[in-house]
Amino acid sequence: MNMIKQVNSGLRSGVVAIPASKSDAQRAYLAAALAPGKSIITGWGSSNDERAMLEAITRLGAVVSVEEEELIIEGIHQFPEMAVISAGESGLGIRLLSMICAARKGVFSVTGEGSLAERPMAFVETHLPLFGATCQTTNGKVPLEIHGPMHGATAKVDGSLSSQFISGLLMALPLVEGNSELHVQQLTSKPYIDMTLQTLEAFGIVVRTKPPSTYVIPGEQIYHATHYQIDADWSSASYWLVAAAIGHPIALRGLRLDSFQADKALMSFLQAANCQVVFKQDTISVDGSSRKAFQVDATDCPDLFPALATLAAGCVGTSIISGASRLTYKESHRGLTLQSEFGKLGVKIDLIDDDMHIHGTGIINGGVVHSHNDHRIAMCLAIAATIATDTVEIHGAESVAKSYPDFWRDLEVLEPVSDELKNN
């Protein structure tokens, strides 16, 4: 399938209701599946990654139903000793699911599809033996064959490649026999670990933290069913916040300022670009009339790179974003993809060591671009197109379904800004 969207230049106005965080949702769905009894989930969404997690926990024995606007998850009564499950294209999903399967006695095949087939999974293979379980990858990638159960242990684990593996261990080790202590070295994306800890606490799991990055996990704990409200997604919001910063009178509804999501860092990044964040009742908007080139470090929030690239393209001068090495194993090689696709629109991007240099002129050309099956690339290009000199044709537009199925609808229902309003 190759959906093509043509996005015309022009300012839009309106209020956008931000969808559920697929990151928060996947953690909550899995925790609910591990909790005896029925958990009630509100604020849930319909992204592909969420659907994949719900399918996986159903295959493991959870019962999922919908009552009005509530998602009801009845926890697994008897974990199977053999199962084949898929995480779809979710990197977080496969890392959480593989660790949970490893915590249980049995043989499990865990796989994925699309870009996930190219993501490295050697961490699982090398680290599970530290806890008494084994994993056989397929040349370092999916599918994974996992033999459990794990037991508690004290271990040093590498957090430099992805925090998602660490989150998987934090969710799995409370279930096993014996206590554990994780000494995480070179931890990246710590806010995502904090999100995992928040979810665990909500479902009654105790993990003690020893600064800076050691986690003490008592074993043989029981997840407790609860009522859980999914956060609105700061990652999805990033495109609309940037849209506001580059001139659109758009307000966002649903975001929590006390969220643990890493991408909330965009608020400080906007300030670094001399933009003013405006809070009014239950909405957030941005005044970017005095925006300028900026320099920020997105190592802990690499999913912000696409939105930040659009912001930088809309500024005059060279913006520098550090942390570009985190972009290699995403839905696409995001650094090279951003360089290629923005280049087609006349925006020069250089990748120098761990930095991305975006040479903004405030002018973005029309043209034909491709998402590379990467949802975040499609969305950032769509926002860039709204201030381009001509129409931008985006191929692979269906990729937004991974995290934000209603993105195109939300863009299309915004009202064109009249010339009179533009001039005021």
Burial 30-61 (b: 16+ CB within 10 A, else e): bbbbbbeeebebebbbebbbbbbbbbbbeebe
11-16-20 Cα angle (round to 5): 140
Phi and psi at residue 73, in whole multiples of 5°? -120, 115
Pair (266, 346) in one structural domain: yes
Pair (147, 245) in one structural domain: no
Residue 54 covered by a domain: no
Q: Give residue-wise pLDDT tens across range 216-239.
A: 999 999 999 999 999 999 999 999
Residue 10 covered by a domain: yes
Last residue in a domain, options 195, 223, 251? 223
Pair (296, 381) in one structural domain: yes
pLDDT at 421: 45
Residue 276 covered by a domain: yes
Pair (270, 370) in one structural domain: yes
Q: Give residue-wise pLDDT tens across range 251-279.
A: 999 999 999 999 999 999 999 999 999 99
Pair (415, 276) in one structural domain: yes
Q: Give residue-wise pLDDT tens across range 339-393.
A: 999 999 999 999 999 999 999 999 999 999 999 999 999 999 999 999 999 999 9
Q: 404, 47 in Cβ contact below 8 A?
A: yes
Last residue in a domain, options 187, 206, 223? 223
pLDDT at 165: 93
Say if residue 180's pLDDT is above 90.
yes
Which residues share a beta bridge with 12? 416
State the pairing for strand pair 63-67/82-86.
unpaired
Strand, coil or helix: 89: coil
Pair (247, 376) in one structural domain: yes
Residue 51 covered by a domain: no
Mean pLDDT across the chain: 95
* Domain range for 184: 77-223
Say if residue 292's pLDDT is above 50.
yes
227-230-232 Cα angle (round to 5): 155
Pair (385, 237) in one structural domain: yes
Residue 24 covered by a domain: no
Pair (275, 339) in one structural domain: yes
Report the C-alpha gap between 7 and 397 in whole angstroms.
11
DSSP state of 123: H
Which residues share a beta bridge with 295? 320
Pair (171, 305) in one structural domain: no
Q: 246, 10 in Cβ contact below 8 A?
A: no
Last residue in a domain, options 198, 223, 248? 223
Q: Give residue-wise pLDDT tens across range 25-77.
A: 999 999 999 999 999 999 999 999 999 999 999 999 999 999 988 999 999 99
Pair (236, 358) in one structural domain: yes
Confidence of residue 420 (pLDDT cuts 50, 70, 90): very low
Pair (140, 86) in one structural domain: yes
Write out the catalytic residue numbers: 303
Report the C-alpha gap between 278 and 270 in whole angstroms.
11
Residue 41 covered by a domain: no
Say if residue 423's pLDDT is above 70.
no
Number of domains in the chain: 2
Report the C-alpha gap between 245 and 260 in whole angstroms.
23
The enclosing domain of 170 has a CATH number of 3.65.10.10
Residue 65 covered by a domain: no
- Which amino acid is located at 26 in the chain? Q
- Which amino acid is located at 83 in the chain? A
Strand, coil or helix: 285: strand
Pair (259, 405) in one structural domain: yes
pLDDT at 1: 81
State the pairing for strand pair 250-253/12-17.
parallel
Residue 61 covered by a domain: no
